[in-house]
Amino acid sequence: MRIIPSKMRYFFEGFTKDRLPEGMAEALQSFLTVENVYLAATREISTKLENLNDEFKITLDQNPIHQIHTRIKTPKSIMEKLLRKGHELSIASARENLNDIAGVRVICPYIDDIYMIAELLTKQDDMQLICKNDYIKNPKPNGYRSLHLVVTVPVFLSKSTEHVKVEIQLRTIAMDFWASLEHDLVYKLGKEKTEDMMRELKDCADVISQTDARMQQIHSMITAKQDCSQK
């Protein structure tokens, strides 16, 4: 297989020769053959979400989706996660054991939008829900809130159809604001983070969650009044 030099620099970013575990170079090369499949899977999900958003914009004059972000895990991240979990270093192992090689993040204005979009998306005939973790109703100990879905979506290739796993994270603008800053702050703190700092971040998450709930309540009241006026 022909390897493009620029691709190999991307694959090996963060590694030095003496740090490459046995078999990693071969596994990274193999990733080239399936990377496009995961990219195609995120495009499939994005198109479905955009179609739903466009429909609601026309029929209800609202946009339940604020933003859509997609990403593919880097080969370095994939291999490190496989090593950390004690799995074999291979593409087959990655596809079997990792649910988040392909990821789609959906940012919604309101909490109700999250559950509506999740329900409509997973009801589509060609989507299969593998697992669901509701960190909105059951936040993580650090205050993180989001709805996580792992689904499979068909990717149609020239000679076959592959069902590819994609992790979808749905959160409000407020949840995304906290998650982005928390990630940045914790990374900067590193080993210097203390219980007091983590407690403060958790308190911020709780305050933001309360604001999210109040904004949802206001939105629901306005929507109810509009519905009554149209009857």
Please state the domain extents for the chain. 9-176
Q: How many Å apart are CA 120 and CA 59, to the nearest integer?
A: 15
Fold designation for 9-176: Beta Polymerase; domain 2 (3.30.460)
Q: How many Å apart are CA 98 and CA 82, to the nearest integer?
A: 8
Do 135 and 73 meet the contact criterion of CB atoms below 8 Å apart? no
How many residues appear in the chain?
231
What does the mean pLDDT of the chain come to? 87
- CA distances for 149 relative to 76, 94, 134, 152, 166, angstroms: 24, 18, 9, 10, 8
Look at residue 62 in the predicted model and tell me its pLDDT.
86
Pick left, alpha or beta for residue 224 (phi over 0 → left; psi -120 to 50 → alpha; otherwise beta): alpha
Q: How many Å apart are CA 187 and CA 171, to the nearest integer?
A: 21
Dig out the tokens for 88 from the structure. Answer: 């074999």
pLDDT digits 0-9 by tens, 208-228: 999 999 999 999 999 888 777
Coil vs helix vs strand at 193:
coil
Q: What are phi and psi of 19, to 5 degrees?
A: -100, -5
Look at residue 66 in the predicted model and tell me its pLDDT.
96
Q: What is the pLDDT along the chain (231 residues), one digit of tens a residue?
A: 444 445 555 555 555 545 555 555 565 666 666 788 999 999 999 999 999 999 999 987 889 999 999 999 987 888 889 999 999 888 888 899 999 999 999 999 999 999 999 999 999 999 999 999 999 999 999 999 999 999 999 999 888 899 999 999 999 999 999 999 998 888 887 777 788 989 999 999 999 999 999 999 999 999 888 777 776
Coil vs helix vs strand at 86:
coil
Residues labelled as active-site residues: 167
Look at residue 172 in the predicted model and tell me its pLDDT.
98
Q: What are phi and psi of 98, to 5 degrees?
A: -110, 130
Contacts 24+ apart (CB under 8 A), 191-199: 198/142
Dig out the tokens for 92 from the structure. Answer: 């087959």
pLDDT digits 0-9 by tens, 142-153: 999 999 999 999
